[in-house]
Structure formats: structure tokens, C-alpha cells
Amino acid sequence: MLRCEFFTENERITGFSVSGHSGYAEAGSDIVCAAVSAVVTMAEATINDVCGAKAKVRVKEGDNNRITLTLPVSCDEEETVQAVLAGMMLTLCSWRDDYPDFIEVLEV
């Protein structure tokens, strides 16, 4: 199962972590993993490359894949960054509702 965690502090999303494998289909044919990978990539690129937020990104590959993005204490484009993260969370929650055995979304 894919585990998507959103970190919050005082109603501010401070980052996210996505780990695991959905198990929906074999690697290379898994539409759930592909969709989650696409939304994670879009969010990271928008936050760092478009908004210039300089979020820290860590990637761990192997048996326990994980990507973690952590925002700095403040961002010049804070409102836009928060909108991107909120949109990402809503998208993942929608997919969780469609594929409850394959995606888990948590606020921590």
C-alpha cells in the first residue's frame, strides 16, 4: 500500500512523505503508482522550480521507496505553495476513495 503523509503545523502544510508500493498491478503496469508519482513530481517541480521555495527533498530507493519534501520555515510564494500542497492532498484523497486498498492518506 502507498502511504501518503502530510505534515502540518498550525494549519500550515509543512511537507509530505510518500512511501511504499500500491500493489495494484505489476511494476510498469501499475496505474495507481504512476498517478501518485505524477502528482508528487508535479508538486515538487511547482514548489521548487516554479515558486522557488527551496524545499528539501529526500529520495530513498529500494525495497522501501520513499520521497519526502520539507518546506523551509517561510516561503516567498507561501500562498501558492500551500495551494499546490492542498491540491495534491485533495487529489490523493480522491484516489484513496477510488482505490482504498492501495492508497492511504494521513495528516500528521
As its CATH architecture, domain 2-107 has 2-Layer Sandwich (3.30)
Phi (first) and psi of residue 19, to 5 degrees: -145, 160
Q: What is the dihedral of CA 21, 27, 32, 33, to 10 degrees?
A: 60
Q: Which of 67, 73, 11 is nearest to 44 (CA)?
A: 67
| pLDDT tens-place string over residues 8-43 | 999 999 999 999 999 999 988 999 999 999 999 999
Rounded to whole angstroms, how far apart are CA atoms 35 and 37? 5
| pLDDT tens-place string over residues 50-69 | 999 999 999 999 878 999 99
Q: pTM for the whole thing?
A: 0.95
**How far, in whole angstroms, is CA 90 from its chain's centroid?**
11
pLDDT of res. 19:
97
Q: Enumerate the domain spans of the chain.
A: 2-107
Rounded to whole angstroms, how far apart are CA atoms 4 and 102? 11
For residue 1, give the H/E element and its range. none
pLDDT of res. 14:
98
Mean pLDDT of 73-100: 97
